[in-house]
Amino acid sequence: MEQRGNIVSFRPDVRVVDCTIRDGGLVNDFFFTDEFVKKLYAANVAAGVDYMEIGYKASKDLFDESKFGKWKFCDEENIWAIVGDKNNDMKISVMADVGRTDYKRDIVEKSESAIDMIRVATYINTVPAAIEMAEYCKKKGYETSINIMAISNANDNDITDALEIIGHSGVDRVVVVDSYGALVPEQIRKIAARYVEMGDKFHKQIGIHAHNNQQLAFANTIETLRLGVSFLDASVGGLGRGAGNCPSELLLRFLKNPKYHVIHLLDFIENYLEPLKSEGLTWGYGVPYMLTGSLNQHPRDAISFTKAHRKDIKNFYVELLEKE
Amino acid sequence: MEQRGNIVSFRPDVRVVDCTIRDGGLVNDFFFTDEFVKKLYAANVAAGVDYMEIGYKASKDLFDESKFGKWKFCDEENIWAIVGDKNNDMKISVMADVGRTDYKRDIVEKSESAIDMIRVATYINTVPAAIEMAEYCKKKGYETSINIMAISNANDNDITDALEIIGHSGVDRVVVVDSYGALVPEQIRKIAARYVEMGDKFHKQIGIHAHNNQQLAFANTIETLRLGVSFLDASVGGLGRGAGNCPSELLLRFLKNPKYHVIHLLDFIENYLEPLKSEGLTWGYGVPYMLTGSLNQHPRDAISFTKAHRKDIKNFYVELLEKE
């Protein structure tokens, strides 16, 4: 596997994608205050972050608006209320789940939208539907990405086939998503190298979205970066479902591009993220998440275990083993 | 760099060294209860852990016995009270700091000792003194190791020279110690590869002791393992100074040798480690430790920041930058 770039230089093709609201919304059902989102937006702009993924574009036919905060749906006017005149270099991204987005109704022309990039989240067996949605968005004028989730559960032939049809599609980017936090560097490097090979052939950028179940989110991010991955997902304080994501502040300290300024994220952590923790929101590495991750299982059982304030970690392990 | 072993097999040369009491003692001045140490000993034996490092062999001329728990000094009778008849395969290790151990007085003949391995901790400029101490211990009958601390601060020529004289010494092992948690996988792989090359030439085993300042302790451990490192330091729950160590439970879930049984560590975590946390003992990853680690600074400032319950993380970063 060929190395691209080295530890003291930077690759100008690298982009940091902040997922704090989008993935963090899975922890609090997207009930962030407007102030929190506005301050995060300002902090990301000042820190030099390239994209801010502000939430999901979920269909209101499927999800009850009263049960979720506004970032589950990302109505245009709500985004505009945050971004103002967008007089800066940071782009706005939203995620759209295959089968959960009424894209023909809810995705407007890019020229009328506050959104720059739409990332279609899919499992490997729904990649054709994801391509259809992404190509629709591309025609509307957006940058597009297909994020193949739970890649640790996909088999090699399916990955080959999926990458081939994505390669021939009009999609701009593909993201390796380790939803379960199951992969160690040795494994995710091999997967990412296949994505990068496809990306080179078809001129598509490759991204990485890692989870921290095994304390490997940052390691997996920078190890795939070395191999040519260029779109790096991160979130402030690692805020995200279960064990959370690659912490933005760790990533920005590592990246050598002088356009990144971590201090603005530290300010946000001190004044907005730590208070969220004090109020009782919980996320980040813990033994229950390590167990589901290392067993290559969905984190839902670890989330339930944590929410129920259970402490019987040994019983929990036995329960997980019985599900294998 | 040549890979040794792969993800689905195991290398029979690999050994896990539990550092829970030794490195964890730096958090609570070694004031562990006898019950805690006995239960950990039993858990490690049942889990298949290969070595348990039970503390330091510090000189009572230099350190006041009333200010530290017994594992700062590791008197023989105190170790025997834990290990009983030692009717199992796990070996006992102690650490001895260069210049802080009265080894000619305090290290008895192996035949009279509960200790199996003595690891000499040294900075790179005191390696000759470390060799003298280790060779003394070797003659007494012990397995020996030299642990070169703060390796992220050593220059390349000094590492070359140190490895050469250690190679020609009677020492059994050498450990790569990333005391500051400063190294990313790309860096520590290169350092470890040099140790492994020396080890191959002189028939010495190489070990790794990683700190979790950048959430890389586990990643760095398994990435150097791939390259031939075989003595892997870990601690239950990652208990250790500052950001702590590579968590044993994460490592044992990863290692494929069927002799390891993680469930006994989970039991210990549930019943002994979590209560320690509830009582207020703090360790593990946090932004202050990330900042010292990524700046390649000693964690002492981050420890003070945390102990003082300071929250002004932005000011703290500016203070650290001024020390560069």
The reply to whether A166 and A221 lie within a common domain is yes
Instruction: Please answer yes or no on whether B186 and A7 come within 8 Å at the CB atom.
Output: yes
Q: Which of B7, B290, B311 sits opposite A249 (nearest CB)?
A: B290
Task: Identify whether residues A163 and A121 lie together within a single domain.
Answer: yes
- Chain B contact for A212, CB < 8 A? yes
What's the Rg (C-alpha) of chain B? 19
- Which amino acid is present at A233? D
Q: At residue B38, does pLDDT exceed 90? A: yes
Tell me, what's the pLDDT at A56?
Answer: 98
pLDDT digits (tens, 9 = 90+) for B81-117: 999 999 999 999 999 999 999 999 999 999 999 999 9
Contact across the interface for B217 and A215, Cβ inside 8 Å:
yes
Helix (H) or strand (E) holding A206: strand A205-210
CA distance A77 to B109: 78
The secondary structure element, H or E, covering residue A202 is helix A185-202
pLDDT along chain A (324 residues), means of 10: 91 98 98 98 98 98 97 98 96 98 97 98 98 98 98 96 98 98 98 98 98 98 98 98 98 98 98 96 97 97 96 97 92
Pair B252, B309 in one domain: no
Nearest to B214 among A218, A274, A291 (CB): A218
Q: Give how far B189 is from chain A: nearest CA, Å.
A: 12
CA distance A300 to A211: 13
Nearest CA distance, A101 vs chain B (angstrom): 35
Asked if pLDDT for residue B1 goes beyond 90, the answer is no
Residues B314 and B260 in one domain: no
pLDDT at B71 (0 to 100): 98
Beta partners for residue B15, in sequence order? B231
Same domain for B111 and B23: yes
User: Are A176 and A295 contained in the same domain?
Assistant: no
DSSP E strands: which ranges in chain B?
15-18, 51-56, 91-97, 117-122, 143-148, 173-177, 205-209, 231-234
In a domain, A19, yes or no: yes
Is A216 in Cβ contact with B212 (below 8 Å)?
Answer: no
Q: Is residue A76 part of a domain?
A: yes
| CA A32/CA B154 separation, integer angstroms | 46
Do B262 and B306 lie in a common domain? no
Residue of B nearest to A266 (CA): B314
DSSP label at residue A31: -
- pLDDT for B46-69, tens place per residue? 999 999 999 999 999 999 999 999
Contacts of A212 in chain B (CB under 8 A): 215
If asked whether residues B176 and B46 sit together in one domain, one would say yes
pLDDT at A1: 81
Cα–Cα nearest to A72, from A18, A23, A34: A23
The rounded mean pLDDT for chain B is 97
Contact present, A267 and B314 (Cβ < 8 Å): yes
Q: Find the CATH number of the domain harbouring B236.
A: 3.20.20.70
Q: How far apart are CA A151 and CA A153, in angstroms?
A: 5
pLDDT, position A297: 97
Q: What pLDDT, on the 0 to 100 scale, is given for residue A207?
A: 98
Q: In the prediction, which pLDDT does A282 show?
A: 95
How far apart (Å, rounded) are the C-alpha atoms in residues A195 and B246?
30
Residue-wise pLDDT tens digits, A249-303 = 999 999 999 999 999 999 999 999 999 999 999 999 999 999 999 999 999 999 9
Residue A78 forms part of a structural domain? yes
Whether A307 maps to a domain, the answer reads yes
Instruction: Give the angle subtended at the CA of B47 by the CAs of B45 and B50, to the nearest 5°.
Output: 60
The answer to whether residue B28 neighbours chain A at the CB level (below 8 Å) is no
**Of residues A214, A237, A314, nearest to B270 (C-beta):** A314
* 8 A C-beta contact, residue A210 and residue A17: no
Which range marks the domain in which residue A253 is found? 15-278
The Cα–Cα gap between B5 and A244 comes to 30
pTM of the model: 0.98
Instruction: State the best of A271, A287, A289, A316 to mutate against chain B, taking most chain B CBs within 10 Å.
Output: A287
Contact B317 A291 (CB under 8 A): no
Q: What integer pLDDT is reported at residue A238 of this predicted model?
A: 98
Could you tell me if residue A102 is inside a domain? yes
- A210 in a structural domain: yes
Out of B247, B269, B285, whose CB is closest to A313? Answer: B269
Residues A144 and A206 in one domain: yes
pLDDT at A77: 98
Evaluate whether A232 touches A245 at the Cβ level (below 8 Å). Answer: no
Q: Which residues pair with A96 in a beta bridge?
A: A120
Tokens encoding A71 = 């970032």
- Residue B262 CB-half CA count within 13 A: 27
Q: What local confidence, expressed as pLDDT, does residue B10 receive?
A: 96
Give the residue carrying structure tokens 């348990």: B52
Query: How buried is B279 (Cβ within 10 angstroms: 0-12 exposed, 13-18 middle, 19+ buried)?
Result: exposed
- B117 domain residue, yes or no: yes
- pLDDT attached to residue B324: 86
Smallest Cα distance from A83 to chain B, Å: 25
Mark whether A24 and A90 lie in a shared domain.
yes
d(CA B128, CA B121): 12
String of DSSP letters for B238-274: G-SSTT-B-BHHHHHHH---TT--THHHHHHIIIIIH
| CA-based nearest residue to A286, from A254, A310, A318 | A310
Please say which residue of B243, B258, B278 terminates a domain: B278
- Taking residues B209-219, report their average pLDDT: 98
Strands A143-148 and A117-122: parallel
**Tokens coding A102:** 């009424």
* Per-residue pLDDT band at B263 (split at 50, 70, 90): very high
| Same domain? A88 vs A41 | yes
Of all residues in chain B, the percent with pLDDT exceeding 70 is: 100
The C-alpha R_g of chain A, in whole angstroms, comes to 19
A206 found inside a domain? yes
Q: Tokens 């970063």 identify what position?
A: B317
DSSP letter at A89 equals S
Does A247 contact chain B (CB < 8 Å)? yes
Does B306 touch chain A if contact means CB atoms closer than 8 Å? no
Task: Name every residue whose Cβ is closer than 8 Å to that of residue B322 and which is 6 or more positions away in sequence.
Answer: none
The verdict on B266 touching A (C-beta cutoff 8 Å) is: yes
User: Considering its fold, how many domains does chain B have in total?
Assistant: 2
- Does B46 lie at the interface with A, CB-CB under 8 angstroms? no
Q: Among residues A223, A174, A233, which one has the least CA distance to residue A5?
A: A223
Within this chain, do residues B167 and B19 fall inside the same structural domain, yes or no?
yes
Q: What is the DSSP letter of B110?
A: G
